[in-house]
Amino acid sequence: MNRVMVAGVGNIFLADDGFGVEVARRMNTDVFPAGVEVEDYGIRGMHLAFQLLEGYDTLILIDAVQRGDQPGTIFVIEPDLDAEPVNPATDAHSMNPEAVLSTLAALGGRVGRVLVVGCEPAELVERIGLSEVVNRAVDEAVSVVRKLIDEVTVDRIETRKGVRADV
């Protein structure tokens, strides 16, 4: 069985930075194959690093990522895990995904594969709530994450009349 962590990250108090949190929230009632966990980690990067010590084959991070695309653009990035590590953040509440992975490595942990489902933000200002364009992109991101889960898991789940069955 593949262990997969789907982690929504970001700060809901900075408008579109809460994108990953909202995607995870919308997915939290879905049924997934055994071994798949979906969690809103928000700004709890240190907590995520310690959770990853339990051993996961794949980490799917959901986050607002500035790349210069049109706001609301959804993309998937597979970062180079062998790249030069960054120094872990001294403030656990400001840990970006790179700092989470560096902290995990410093703690002696490792994740097999990392995929980032990103969204180009429109607004990173002090405000609760996503911009209209990023809010519209959340459903697309949920669909992308579901497809990635299907790709990285061997076991499938069928839902029939609300009954979960491993196939």
Task: Specify the higher pLDDT residue, 79 or 16.
Answer: 16
- With a pLDDT cut of 70, the percent of the chain lying above it is 83
> Could you report the per-residue pLDDT of 86-117, keeping only the tens digit for each?
554 444 445 677 888 888 999 999 899 999 99
At residue 1, the pLDDT reads: 78
* Average pLDDT of the residues of the chain: 86
Nearest Cα neighbor of 51 from 112, 102, 119, 100 is 100
At residue 82, the pLDDT reads: 67
Residues contacting residue 69 through CB under 8 Å, at least 6 positions apart: 75, 120
Region label for 129, one of left (φ > 0), alpha (ψ between -120 and 50) or beta (otherwise): left
At residue 161, the pLDDT reads: 35
Question: How do 56-64 and 4-9 pair as beta strands?
Answer: parallel
> Is the dihedral angle over the CA atoms 60, 131, 120, 84 positive or is it negative?
negative
Q: Which domains does the chain have, with CATH numbers?
A: 4-166 (3.40.50.1450)
Confidence check: pLDDT of 61 > 80: yes
At residue 157, the pLDDT reads: 46
Q: How far from 146 is each of 27, 28, 100, CA to CA, in Å?
A: 9, 12, 23
Q: What is the pTM of this model?
A: 0.84
Confidence check: pLDDT of 164 > 50: no
- Rounded to the nearest angstrom, the gap between the alpha carbon of residue 31 and the centroid of all alpha carbons in its chain is 17
At residue 79, the pLDDT reads: 84
Task: Specify the higher pLDDT residue, 60 or 166.
Answer: 60
At residue 101, the pLDDT reads: 85
